[in-house]
Structure 1
Amino acid sequence: MNSLDGCLKRIMDIPGACSVTLVDGASGLAIATAGVHDVVDEHENAAGTTEVVRSALTCPALAAGDDGKPTELVVLRPGAFHLLRLIDGDFDGRLFVHVVFDATTGNLGMARYQLNSAVSELTGAAR
């Protein structure tokens, strides 16, 4: 299992990564951060994205499927994209990673692949 700091560094090394926040989904608090948080600080970011994740997990339309649980959310906006990668477990104790990417230097497909790899190493599980 990799260290948390090593995982955050690996995520920040993904081309286009601007910031990363590891969030405790139960409390909405930032556990660890890296990069530059320009628009809001990491604690406001964590609280806001926790509400987004909770909304997605409780939406019946998004819960349809094999196991009914989204594992990743993608938010696109002009000039940037956000990846919210949920870490395995029940949401009451669930952690998730929120990464902001610059759309001009990042690649959504590669970012998703590399983020999944970094999170899998952190949790010690291959997906």
Structure 2
Amino acid sequence: MYHVVVGVDDEAEHALRCVEEVVNLPGGVEEKSVTLIHTFVDNPSGASATQVQSVREAADYLEEHGIECEIEESSGDPADAIVRTADGGEADLIVVGGRKRSPAGKALFGSVTQSVVLGAQRPVMVTGVD
């Protein structure tokens, strides 16, 4: 079984782009399993990851394509949570969405994607840039 961890933020378009790439990975759907991880940075209402639209849409897309999917949630730093989830589940691959940012924007605000790429001890796929 090929296990993929997908970091899902609040943007449904990013989440769908990530899971589309998982579906397109070589091998049959029965050979793939996916863990979707959503990290709450601020969650005053106490929502769960399954209530987040981007997570629901990503999970629905995987299920429509016959891929086994599990949803996890955490709080704190998203990059740390993605890497920790991948390490704990002995993932074969991490998938995260990329986005265009100016050099100043990267320096000032950091990047979850960049932190995952630099902090992971396993392959990382960065999907589409908008």
Q: What's the TM-score, normalizing by structure 2?
A: 0.34
Structure whose residues are more often helix by fraction: 2
Q: What's the TM-score, normalizing by structure 1?
A: 0.35
